[in-house]
A and B are shown apart, each in its own frame.
Chain A
Amino acid sequence: MTEATMVAAAPAVDSSLPYNDAVPGAVVGEWAADTDKALFVAPDKLLALLTHLRDQEQYDLLSSVTCVDYSAYKGKARAGIRERFDVVYHLYSTKKGGGPVRLHVRVPDNETVPSATSVYPGANLQEREVYDLFGIKFEGHPNLRRVLTWEGFHGHPLRKDWKEAYYEEDAKPFKSRHPTGGYQWHEDKLPWGDNNTYPAGWDPDSWQEPVTYVPVSQAPHHGFGELDTQSIVINLGPHHPSTHGVFRMLTRMEGETILALEPEMGYLHRNHEKIGERNTWLMNMPFTDRLDYINSMSNNLGYALAVEKLLNIEVPERAQYIRVIMAELTRIINHTWSIGFILNDLGALQTPALYAIEEREMILDLFEEVSGARLMCNYMRFGGVVRDLTPGWEERAKYLVHDRLPRALDQLDELLSGNEIVKARGRGVGYLPAKDLIALSVSGPMIRAAGIPYDIRKAEPYCIYDRFDFDIPTLPESDIYARYYIRLLEARESVKILQQALRDIPKKGEVLGGKGGYTFRPVEGEAYARVEAPKGELGYFVVSDNKANPYRYHVRSPSFINLNALGPMSVGYKVADAVVILGAIDIVLGEVDR
């Protein structure tokens, strides 16, 4: 948008609102809730404001794009507002650090919003997700089609009036369970077939998947070199061990060289967010375990932080330390595990992965001892953690972080870092400049391997991370090798944090603050909390209606959004490299598909 048009369309501008002096008329109001402040943006000025924020105010990372359907919202703050949807943007600055700029764009039913992809290419997958789950169309989006559900899916599931199969009630607990709750098998009540509908005019039998997807369809089809060869379309996955789950890479290839690659996902989609709206606030906790099932502890932590923002609960000192210890242990698990799998993808089948598992077993034993489960820990609560550490746990953890883990990390380093094959396969492969990665909303080890020292633990410290002395390792190369090596360096920093945390943890004390209990009614409003999960920025966006169930529950999952970069990173490399490039993004399909 040019400056002239911006000035021309500037009727009554409230100059007391932020950014209105730079982009007149862009911000039309504030939600001055008790929780986090939000700015309401005029849809036609959105792109101008985003451009201004990116270029002038250094908000270079469009972290999260999501949507809220307010049609059933009883909140007073919304009284008199007729628009049904709010598209919510969270912008962060990797240069300045600190909190977000939160923008709301109000959209009536059946209207479009300008797509942010021209300013932030990273909005690509997230806008597709909003389109898929809410049915909001983004004008100017290059590839606006369903992403998590398939084309034959009827309706947009996160709309408040959409009911799932086996729908019972709007909110748990369901009335049929007590005191007269005779067991009935769901599948008997609603036989499959009666609740399966297709969009109007849709015939599942005659449908064939089109290969017209952007960018695969836009890549050149033939005419390479001297011979008039033809490029071919190949599906890598969904059932292929290199895709780490059910995930498909649709590629157009010339020989073995990738011309275009498009990630296809949603095979594991279970509408986590809709389930989350049915659940009570606390019930969501064990569900978060199942997102990134390798790091249930950090998933728990992010969700607990988001809800604590709304509930205003103090977390006791000892619980703060326990949380940090668990989060860092889980980071070591994830990083050693992902190193093992990068090597798996490189062809070093199982040996590095097995060595990584050895240490992981020890950490999982520790998790199991305190929480009762190895993977689905369900350990954090609003206001702390559920149970105290067991006697002797700290001693064993100390042995682990002082002796065993440093030794194991050194061993991995020695085993792999100097290896000529790892170097040959990793150096210079999957290169993408740091600027592009940020623009694609990539976060976590991926951007630190491109030389950007951005880590939420330092940029916007949560819990008690500001008390520990640790560095943010960075590497400049931004290739597979750097992405492998950065994880090793980060695991070492985690060991450093763990050593300090285990030294400073109060010997006794409460581990659960607040009133406890199982019913929470947070104040009306919204909150976004993010943690530096091992895979990147894990954010939880929750909207409360002052009820026992969340009104909206959104997970900004790093695995999903980091996939924005998969296509651009793979183009020009061989198909065998694409497998490693995917492995080095480090995705978990439980979190990608949600």
Chain B
Amino acid sequence: MFGTGLLKGLGITLKHFTDTFTDDRRKTPSRYEDSIKLDDRRRIIDQPITQEGLLTIQYPEERRLLPERFRYIPMLIWDTEVGEDRCTACGICAKVCPPQCIWIVRDMDDQGKPVTRPAEFYIDAAVCMSCSFCTEFCPFDAIKMNHDYELAVYDRYPQLVYDKEELTVPLEYYAALWPTQFAEEQERRAKEKEEERRREEEKKAAAEAKAKAKAAGAEGGEAKPRRTKEELDAMKAQAAAKAAAAKAGGAEASAPAADDAEAAAKKARLEEMKRKAAEKAAQRKKESGE
């Protein structure tokens, strides 16, 4: 009969309408059932795969729950355990970047020798295509994808060109955003460290054995050590001083004492980030607890 197709179709649209509408008129619509409530208005909603009817999220009060692997713009990790940037300015991220939106200037020490630390680090977020190659190939786990997608500004340049300050986040922030990957990484890093320590010890033992053998072999001869004890001590002292300087420089981000204000601002910024990270971590915890 002419018109049956139309009527059938109308039946389906009616079903869709009731699916969406009746659910929305309930005291607690189904979309709020498993959501994370931040305060009276703000929520984080995860769309279940069993959702029937249309699901509307009232952005910006309500937001989607982002999956862990969500990638937006890269961020640099500040290793709070060690108190320095994880980045060593090796430049691999700049090499693999398809739109070539990463600029790195390697830092130098007082003698003008390059050190494994970036002096400047820029990412042009207007050019970045969020491919996450930089994070994939970073050998130091120093660059990761941020989940923060609200980057709207009035001008592309210079506001969307992020410098090192703007890109750096503390390790806790990353741990909160990427819990699974972070745990895996920590495990791997601990293993690597252990391996390194073991190798070092083996090396030491081998060297000692060698020295012993040499001493035994050259008994009577002149077993002259390559360096005198004084020389060795001096070198050790020098190395320790250098390490301390690097550490202090890293912790204070090489801010001279005169630039107290700048250092304070930096510190405040880091604190703020930590606070944010803690907030996100709490949010994650809450969500995994429920």
User: Do the two chains belong together in a single complex?
Assistant: yes
Chain A contacts with B in 246-284, Cβ cutoff 8 A: 279-280, 282-284
B39: min CB distance to chain A, Å: 26
For the complex, give the distance between the alpha carbons of A422 and B9 in Å: 11
Indicate whether A466 reaches chain B with its CB closer than 8 angstroms: no
Indicate whether B221 reaches chain A with its CB closer than 8 angstroms: no
B158: min CB distance to chain A, Å: 8
Stretch at the interface among B27-35, B98-106, B232-240, B253-261: B98-106
Across the interface, which residues of A come within 8 angstroms of B16, CB to CB? 355
User: Which of B12, B68, B103, B122 is the one whose CB lies under 8 Å from A415?
Assistant: B12
Chain A contacts with B in 497-531, Cβ cutoff 8 A: 517-518
Q: How many pairs, one residue from A and one from B, have CB atoms within 8 Å of each other in the complex?
A: 140
Across the interface, which residues of A come within 8 angstroms of B69, CB to CB? 368-372, 387, 390
Known: A400-B49, A414-B9, A418-B5. A181 touches B67 (CB 8 A): no
Known: A279-B98, A420-B6. A181 touches B136 (CB 8 A): no
User: Which of B70, B95, B103 is the one whose CB lies under 8 Å from A182?
Assistant: B103
Known: A178-B94, A387-B69. A365 touches B137 (CB 8 A): no
User: Which of B8, B51, B105, B133 is the one whose CB lies under 8 Å from A414?
Assistant: B8
For the complex, give the distance between the alpha carbons of A361 and B122 in Å: 34
A557: min CB distance to chain B, Å: 20
Q: Mark B46-83, 1 if CB is under 8 A from A, else 0.
A: 01011100110000000000011111000000000000
| Chain B residue with Cβ nearest A423 | B5
Q: Interface size of B by Cβ–Cβ distance < 8 Å?
A: 50
Q: Mark B154-186, 1 if CB is under 8 A from A, else 0.
A: 000110010000000000000000000000000
Asked if A182 contacts B145 (CB within 8 A), the reply is no
Known: A185-B157, A378-B131, A419-B5. A179 touches B114 (CB 8 A): yes
A484: min CB distance to chain B, Å: 14
User: Which of A182, A279, A361, A411 is the one whose CB lies under 8 Å from B12?
Assistant: A411
Chain A contacts with B in 344-397, Cβ cutoff 8 A: 351, 354-355, 358, 361-362, 365, 368-373, 376, 378, 386-387, 390, 396
A424: min CB distance to chain B, Å: 10
Chain B contacts with A in 1-34, Cβ cutoff 8 A: 2-6, 8-9, 12-13, 16
For the complex, give the distance between the alpha carbons of A283 and B6 in Å: 50
Asked if B120 contacts A182 (CB within 8 A), the reply is yes
For the complex, give the distance between the alpha carbons of A387 and B71 in Å: 13
Across the interface, which residues of B come within 8 angstroms of A183, CB to CB? 103, 120, 122, 124, 161
Across the interface, which residues of B come within 8 angstroms of A415, CB to CB? 8-9, 12-13
A153: min CB distance to chain B, Å: 23
Q: Which interface residue of A177, A182, A414, A416 has the most chain B CB atoms within 10 A?
A: A177
| Chain A residue with Cβ nearest B93 | A178
Across the interface, which residues of B come within 8 angstroms of A224, CB to CB? none
Indicate whether A152 reaches chain B with its CB closer than 8 angstroms: no
For the complex, give the distance between the alpha carbons of A176 and B100 in Å: 10
Across the interface, which residues of A come within 8 angstroms of B136, CB to CB? 386
Q: Mark A151-178, 1 if CB is under 8 A from B, else 0.
A: 0000000000000000000001110111
For the complex, give the distance between the alpha carbons of A174 and B8 in Å: 61
For the complex, give the distance between the alpha carbons of A373 and B50 in Å: 21
Q: Mark A413-432, 1 if CB is under 8 A from B, else 0.
A: 01111111111000000000
Q: Mark A435-471, 1 if CB is under 8 A from B, else 0.
A: 0000000000000000000000000000000000000
Indicate whether A399 reaches chain B with its CB closer than 8 angstroms: yes
For the complex, give the distance between the alpha carbons of A369 and B49 in Å: 12
Known: A279-B98, A372-B67, A376-B129. A177 touches B103 (CB 8 A): yes
For the complex, give the distance between the alpha carbons of A535 and B34 in Å: 38
Q: Using C-beta atoms within 8 Å of the partner chain, give the interface range for chain A.
A: 35 or more
For the complex, give the distance between the alpha carbons of A517 and B105 in Å: 24
Q: Mark A180-215, 1 if CB is under 8 A from B, else 0.
A: 111101010000000000000000000000000000
Indicate whether A406 reaches chain B with its CB closer than 8 angstroms: no
Indicate whether A286 reaches chain B with its CB closer than 8 angstroms: yes
Asked if B131 contacts A286 (CB within 8 A), the reply is yes
Across the interface, which residues of A come within 8 angstroms of B100, CB to CB? 172-174, 177
For the complex, give the distance between the alpha carbons of A419 and B3 in Å: 8
| Chain A residue with Cβ nearest B95 | A173
B198: min CB distance to chain A, Å: 26
Indicate whether A287 reaches chain B with its CB closer than 8 angstroms: yes
Asked if A399 contacts B5 (CB within 8 A), the reply is no
User: Which of A180, A400, A419, A518 is the one whose CB lies under 8 Å from B9?
Assistant: A419
| Chain B residue with Cβ nearest A418 | B5
Indicate whether A404 reaches chain B with its CB closer than 8 angstroms: yes
Known: A177-B91, A286-B98, A373-B71. A361 touches B47 (CB 8 A): yes
Asked if A372 contacts B94 (CB within 8 A), the reply is no
Asked if A179 contacts B133 (CB within 8 A), the reply is no
User: Which of B70, B71, B91, B130 is the one whose CB lies under 8 Å from A178?
Assistant: B91
Known: A414-B8, A423-B5. A177 touches B132 (CB 8 A): no
Across the interface, which residues of B come within 8 angstroms of A368, CB to CB? 67, 69-70
Asked if A282 contacts B13 (CB within 8 A), the reply is no
For the complex, give the distance between the alpha carbons of A371 and B70 in Å: 8
Across the interface, which residues of B come within 8 angstroms of A376, CB to CB? 129-131
For the complex, give the distance between the alpha carbons of A375 and B235 in Å: 56
| Chain B residue with Cβ nearest A179 | B106
Indicate whether B36 reaches chain A with its CB closer than 8 angstroms: no
Across the interface, which residues of B come within 8 angstroms of A284, CB to CB? 98
Across the interface, which residues of B come within 8 angstroms of A279, CB to CB? 98
For the complex, give the distance between the alpha carbons of A497 and B49 in Å: 20
Asked if A414 contacts B120 (CB within 8 A), the reply is no
| Chain B residue with Cβ nearest A421 | B6
B21: min CB distance to chain A, Å: 14
For the complex, give the distance between the alpha carbons of A286 and B5 in Å: 44
For the complex, give the distance between the alpha carbons of A76 and B186 in Å: 48
| Chain A residue with Cβ nearest B5 | A418
Across the interface, which residues of A come within 8 angstroms of B105, CB to CB? 179-182
Indicate whether B142 reaches chain A with its CB closer than 8 angstroms: no
For the complex, give the distance between the alpha carbons of A48 and B126 in Å: 52
Q: Which 7 A-B pairs have the closest CB atoms?
A: A418-B5, A178-B91, A181-B103, A286-B131, A179-B106, A283-B98, A372-B71
User: What are 10 inter-chain pairs, A to B, with CB distance below 8 A?
Assistant: A172-B98, A178-B89, A178-B91, A181-B102, A280-B96, A282-B96, A351-B13, A372-B67, A411-B12, A422-B5
- Please name 8 further chain A to chain B contacts, defined as beta carbons within 8 Å, in addition to the given A185-B158, A279-B98, sorted by A numbering: A177-B103, A178-B102, A280-B96, A283-B96, A369-B69, A376-B129, A390-B69, A518-B137
